[in-house]
């Protein structure tokens, strides 16, 4: 930019920039220009992310209720935090969330990596298969929740019929969404069905980033396929796998829409993940202070765990 003469006429794309404008921009230092460019983003971030976060932290120490805006706001200190952390129902919801996050991440990682490994082999029609496999993740969670509700319907649902066909058990003899034992697995199955392709995509990127010459060198050294997998493929794809685990872990920790549509947290509270409890407190009971405290606890939990995990990821990447 400094090489441009004042009289030159610069064109960015199809829009001509007038010499006067150029003169004005030239009058700014690099630092000032940098500030000029990042200020809108900073303002947006402050308005949309930072301010609400600070405000939420403040509200979490008060008895504020959004539906009673005229009522006096009382400072409660850490009362809500104590209440939440000693509430057995909250711990039950956290256990349900942990079960959901753990099993979905395990299943999606194993299946996703397996699918990526197969797709990477570039067999005939692999492009078509890739597209088909990716279809579930392109659907809206609301759509997925609704049609899996039908698939799980004991009388007409395809899922029950497939299980009946494979096991010989009558289709209407079990209900995936209404049974205390089966319903936590029902939501795990749906999430795995929907998001395994996403993990596959990330793993596929990892597998494709491994240079061929490493395998060629291994072939020269007469390393078996098994040895190549354990010594080359898995270690080199590991940072990608860990990244997929991080993304899915964070996403599923805050899972709401699909579980809400499938079970509404039931039967009883069997599938009531933390975000459903939070939504009920915030937008049905309108306990804004309480739910702000709960949201902060969840945020700190995810943020803390993610930070520890990212450090581990960086260690793996630097090996």
Partner 1 sequence: MKNSMKALFAAGGALAAAVGIGAMTTPAHAQGKTITLCWAAWDPANALVELSKDFTAKSGIGMKFEFVPWTNYADRFLNELNSRGSLCDLIIGDSQWIGGAAENGQYVKLNDFFKKEGISMDDYMPATVVGYSQWPKNTPNYWALPAMGDAVGWTYRKDWFARPDVQKDFKAKYGRDLAVPQTLDELRDIAKFFQGREIDGKKVYGASIYTERGSEGITMGVSNYLYDYGFKYQDPNKPYAMDGFVNSSGAVKGLEAYKELYKCCTPPGASNSYMSEGLDAFKSGQVALQMNFFAFFPGLYKDPNVGGDKIGFFSNPAATTQATQLGGQGISVVSYSKNQGEALQYIKWFSGADVQKKWWALGGYSCAKSVLNDPSFPDSAPFAKEFLKSMSMVVDFWAEPSYAQLLQAEQKRVHDYVVADKGTAQEALDGLVKDWKAIFKEEGKKF
Using CA atoms of 302, 303, 308, 314 in order, give the dihedral in degrees to the nearest 10. 110
Across the chain, which distance is largest between two alpha carbons, in Å?
84
Which pair of structure tokens corresponds to residue 137? 């993740």
Rounded to the nearest 10 degrees, the angle between the axes of helix 183-208 and helix 141-151 is 130
By the rule CB under 8 A, 265 interacts with partner 1: yes
By the rule CB under 8 A, 153 interacts with partner 1: yes
Name which position in 286, 299, 301, 302 contacts partner 1 (CB under 8 A).
286
As a whole number of Å, the CA-based R_g of the chain is 26
Which pair of structure tokens corresponds to residue 180? 């205390």
What is the Cα–Cα distance from 203 to 238, expressed in whole angstroms?
A: 9
Per-residue interface string for the shown chain with partner 1, residues 56-75, x marking contact by CB under 8 A: ----------xxxxx-----
Rounded (5°) CA angle 112-117-122: 125
Name which position in 112, 141, 145, 154 contacts partner 1 (CB under 8 A).
154
By the rule CB under 8 A, 49 interacts with partner 1: no
By the rule CB under 8 A, 268 interacts with partner 1: yes
Tally the residues of the chain. 319
By the rule CB under 8 A, 177 interacts with partner 1: yes
We find the least distance from the C-beta atom of residue 249 to partner 1, in angstroms, to be: 26
By the rule CB under 8 A, 264 interacts with partner 1: yes
By the rule CB under 8 A, 248 interacts with partner 1: no
By the rule CB under 8 A, 143 interacts with partner 1: no
Long-range Cβ contacts of 21-27 (<8 Å, 24+ apart)? 25/1, 26/1, 26/2
Considering the complex, state which of residue 254 and residue 280 has its C-beta at the smaller distance from partner 1: 280
Which pair of structure tokens corresponds to residue 18? 């007038």
Name which position in 57, 266, 299, 309 contacts partner 1 (CB under 8 A).
266
By the rule CB under 8 A, 208 interacts with partner 1: no
Name the site residues for partner 1 (rule: CB under 8 A): 66-70, 89, 152-155, 157, 172-173, 175, 177-180, 260, 263-270, 280, 283-287
């Amino acid at each position: 930019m400094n090489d441009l003469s004042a009289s030159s006429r610069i064109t960015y794309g199809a829009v001509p920039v007038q010499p006067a404008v150029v003169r004005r921009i030239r009058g700014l230092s690099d630092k000032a220009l940098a500030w000029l460019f990042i200020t809108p983003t900073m303002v947006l971030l402050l308005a949309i992310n930072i301010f609400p976060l600070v405000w939420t932290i403040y509200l979490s120490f008060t008895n504020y209720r959004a539906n009673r805006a005229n009522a006096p706001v009382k400072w409660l200190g850490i009362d809500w935090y104590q209440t939440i952390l000693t509430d057995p129902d909250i711990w039950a919801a956290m256990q349900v969330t942990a079960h959901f996050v753990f099993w979905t991440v395990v299943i999606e990682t194993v299946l996703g990596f397996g699918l990526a490994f197969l797709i990477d082999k570039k067999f005939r029609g692999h492009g078509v298969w890739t597209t088909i496999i990716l279809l579930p993740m392109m659907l809206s969670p609301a759509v997925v929740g609704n049609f899996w509700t039908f698939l799980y319907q004991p009388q007409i649902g395809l899922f029950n019929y497939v299980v009946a066909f494979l096991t010989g058990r009558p289709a209407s003899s079990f209900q995936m969404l209404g049974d205390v034992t089966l319903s936590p697995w029902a939501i795990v199955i749906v999430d795995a069905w929907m998001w395994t392709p996403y993990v596959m995509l990330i793993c596929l990127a990892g597998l494709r980033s491994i240079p061929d010459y490493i395998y060629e060198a291994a072939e020269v050294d007469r390393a078996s396929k098994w040895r190549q997998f354990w010594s080359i493929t898995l270690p080199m794809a590991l940072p990608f796998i860990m990244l997929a685990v991080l993304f899915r872990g964070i996403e599923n920790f805050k899972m709401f829409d699909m579980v809400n549509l499938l079970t509404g947290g039931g039967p009883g509270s069997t599938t009531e993940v933390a975000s459903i409890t939070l939504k009920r407190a915030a937008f049905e009971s309108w306990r804004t202070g309480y739910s702000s405290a709960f949201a902060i606890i969840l945020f700190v939990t995810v943020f803390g765990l993610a930070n520890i995990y990212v450090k581990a990821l960086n260690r793996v990447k630097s090996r």
